[in-house]
Amino acid sequence: MFSFGLMPASNGGRQRSRPWVLAVVSGLALLTGAGALGLQPDAAEPVAYTLDGQPLFPSALSVETEERLNADVDAAREDFEADPSEMHTIWLGRRLAYLQRFPEAIATFTDGVERFPDSYRLYRHRGHRHISVRDFDAAIADLERAYALMPKGMSETEPDGIPNALGVPLSSTQFNVLYHLALAHYLKGDFEAAEPIWRECLEYSTNPDLLVATTDWLYMTLRRLGDEDAAVDVLTAITPELEVIENESYLKRLRMYRGEIAMDALFSTDADNAALMLATQGYGVANWHFYHGDREQAAAVWEQIFATGSWAAFGYIAAEADAFRAGTGSR
């Protein structure tokens, strides 16, 4: 089972954990409900497995959210059955994925790839969901194929399945192909392969939200490569006046790296996003400890991330990959 802030230490005592970590985790049950902390062992079949082989089930949803997402799937399926076009195939797969029905989503995209073999969009989305199920090699193969097929030197706006507060789509297909390809290499621990892809992704990071997301992962990649000077250099693009619409977590982490805010400030939250916040922000903090040589504290924060149950979040998957390579597992 998950530990909540205290892990066995090599000296026979107990490992320390920061007070802000304990405070965030102990508040999660009150903020998000007990179901949000764990997985759902009553689900019929696992939809993914951790890197050390533990089954993963769809996360608990409110009745209202589940009804809305199921209605979206029904509408997408109706559109697909009336016209199984490339875009209707993509939307059916995306809607299934929002319910964490990843095997069905991947099968839908696979059906689409068989009918539309030159669709870089289908490869992009299937590659993304291969990351969700921890099949990084398959993700890389799909995303490399998407990269080979996609038009370059332009940004093709990608519609949002879950719109932001302003209802403005921010990313492009080109950005998403490169972002997820770099991420898949990062998750495999191949930081050398990830770095140039992150840098190319910066060319498609055409607004502040995309800039902070790419810069954060590039910074972490460079720190894991031991190139602190290059990592500090990429932070120069993060100016005080930079404002974002939806990627506040990444911006806060970058400001923390720059010494502009304290680590504790990353964890201000509300009842709507506590678990996801800890999975996302927690990974930046764990990584900070990791590349500063405090591996025990990094491992302690990994445990807090695993306790959230937000297993589909990239921060959770990255913590899981780090823990797996370190031999500590994900549970």
pTM listed for this prediction: 0.87
Domain annotation covers residue 6? no
Q: What H or E segment, with its residue span, contains residue 48?
A: strand 48-49
Alpha helices of 43-156 — where are they, by DSSP H?
63-82, 86-98, 102-115, 120-132, 136-149
Q: Which residues pair with 56 in a beta bridge?
A: 48
Determine the average pLDDT of the residues in 278-289: 90
In a domain, 306, yes or no: no
Residue 329 confidence (pLDDT): 63
State the Cα–Cα distance between residues 183 and 18, nearest whole angstrom. 28
Structural domain count, the chain: 1
> Is residue 201 domain-resident?
no
Whether residue 267 is predicted with pLDDT greater than 50 in this model: the reply is: yes
pLDDT at 278: 79
Residue 210 to residue 189: CA distance in whole angstroms: 23
SS3 of residue 55 by DSSP = strand
User: What is the pLDDT averaged over residues 92-110?
Assistant: 98
pLDDT at position 275 is 74
Per the domain annotation, does 94 fall within a domain? Answer: yes
CA torsion sign, 255 to 292 to 270 to 129?
A: positive
Give the pLDDT score at 25: 38
For residue 77, the domain's CATH number is: 1.25.40.10
User: Residue 10 has what pLDDT?
Assistant: 31
- Domain containing residue 113: 62-99+101-150
Which residue has tokens 């800890």? 278
pLDDT category at 272 given cuts 50, 70, 90 is low
The pLDDT mean for the chain works out to: 86
Q: Does the pLDDT value for residue 165 go beyond 80?
A: no
Model confidence at 137: pLDDT above 70: yes
pLDDT confidence band for 270 (50 / 70 / 90): low
- Residue at 257 is within a domain: no
Could you tell me the pLDDT band of residue 30, with boundaries at 50, 70 and 90? very low
